[in-house]
Structure 1
Amino acid sequence: MTRTTTAGPAASAPVTSRHRRPTPSLAPSGALGLGMLFLLVTAALAAAVLAHPARPVFQHIDDTWLRWMGGPHDGPYAAVAAVFNWLGGPLGVVVPVGLAVFLGVRRRWPSLAFLLLTYVVGDMLLVQILKYGVARPRPAHPLVRVDHGSFPSGHSAGIALLVVVVGALLVPAARRRDWWIAGTVLTVVMMWSRTWLHAHWLSDTLAGAVAGAGAALVLWWLCTPLLARERPTSPGRATLDGPNGPNGPAGHED
């Protein structure tokens, strides 16, 4: 007697990465170490300025760089600097706010909590404490409106922090190296723009960049258990265990 096996319905195709809901990536193993290193660099630069507020040990480098940024301040350079000045200024808040709205609409509550915590701790508390604690004078005759305290650059801190947050929450691990390269370029351009506008010394922008990135990396590592709650079950596993998968009812013979 010949046994006939009736095939069940065709297994559904695995969900490709193109159709998956974006999920946060867990912090890489080196995130904490790199973040702490960046924060130590920030602390070392702050200590150097506090030791000699008028002329820290690296002031001659700052003076030389500022002379190179002497101008002329027009043309395409002015346009780029104006865009980055806007991006890091009060109007630039639309970027993190837009990201927060996106995460809220997608109900990605752990990611939203990480975003808000990182901006409060890294972009508000850390930068403002350093600004008022160090109270370094700015270069003479800045070309844009500035607030109190040249050290560190809030614009540089903000964009470096944003690069890490976007990389953690939106960029797939396979594409993250490209994102880090692009984000580094964006941060360097921001650093250039702040010195080209005579709003900061070069060391201020370096301190801002490492402070923002360092704070975001450390908080990413600390929030890994929180972000892990948002990661869905593997689509491949769901397909195997589904009703039409080989581990499901339709995959077994009677």
Structure 2
Amino acid sequence: MNKSKKILLGGISCWLAFGVFLFSYLAHASWITALDQWGYHLLQPTTALRTSIYAVITRLGDPTTVFTITVLIGLLCWWRHRLATGGWYLGIQVIGYLLVIAVKYSVVRPRPTHQLVAARGYSFPSGHTFATTLFTLTIITLLWPHLHRRWQRVLLSVVGAVWILAVMSSRVYLRDHYSTDVLAGLLLAAGWWLLTSLIKPRVIK
């Protein structure tokens, strides 16, 4: 199996898994509730210090913050005569988030109650998780060619994974999302990244 087929299979698998979460929620599957409760209790107890830390993390993972930084990256790419590259990453972030909004307003899942940091809109899937995942993958992709040692690439991958997990955890801890919301956001973003990467070579020559 060549690389393109593996990427295609990976993207489809992520979206199929996302579909399982989506339709299981719509069908009121008991395992969705169980997973949500497990994720919430995993992040307890609630303390003032942890709330402050998670509040900072969730602000950094906010789609508006991520989009602003992505625009700056696009401008940097333009300055370095890589306009197509900057436009590509900005485009998949914007179009991808429109996909998130479309799903949110189709599913209309209410957010958890007693939020520690107020959040508006619907809950499924997590926009913070989606935007953060795409942004992290963008940073990794841009830095990867400049890292020539194996340990550097491993470290970058670990830091990226930890950051995505931190944002996901912050959304559940702050009671702005259920566990299944952030997992669905991760799967939707991963699938979107993999599938769009297949057409990237045709856009960026």
Q: What range is the shorter-chain TM-score in?
A: 0.7 to 0.9
Give the structure 2 partner of residue 148 of structure 1.
Answer: 121
Give the structure 2 partner of residue 158 of structure 1.
Answer: 131
Task: Measure how far apart 1:185 and its partner are.
Answer: 1.2
The normalised TM-score by structure 1 is 0.70
- What are structure 1's unaligned runs of at least 5 residues? 1-27, 230-254
Give the structure 1 partner of residue 192 of structure 2.
Answer: 215
Q: Which amino acid aligns with 1:118?
A: I
More helix by share: 2
Match of 1:200 among 156, 164, 177: 177
Task: Measure how far apart 1:66 and its partner are.
Answer: 1.8
Q: Are 1:41 and 2:17 matched, yes or no?
A: yes
Task: Measure how far apart 1:97 and its partner are.
Answer: 1.9
Give the structure 2 partner of residue 114 of structure 1.
Answer: 88
The normalised TM-score by structure 2 is 0.86
Task: Measure how far apart 1:219 and its partner are.
Answer: 1.0
Give the structure 2 partner of residue 87 of structure 1.
Answer: 60
Tell me the secondary structure at the aligned position of residue 31 of structure 2: coil
User: Residue 56 and residue 103 in structure 1: after superposition, are their counterparts in 2 closer, same or farther (change >3 A)?
Assistant: farther
Please say if residues 165 and 216 of structure 1, whose CA atoms lie closer than 8 Å, have aligned partners that are also in contact: no
Give the structure 1 partner of residue 109 of structure 2.
Answer: 136
Match of 1:184 among 161, 167, 170: 161
Please say if residues 86 and 92 of structure 1, whose CA atoms lie closer than 8 Å, have aligned partners that are also in contact: no
Aligned Cα RMSD in Å? 2.0
Match of 2:144 among 171, 178, 182: 171
Q: Which amino acid aligns with 1:98?
A: L
Task: Measure how far apart 1:176 and its partner are.
Answer: 4.3
Q: Which amino acid aligns with 2:118?
A: R
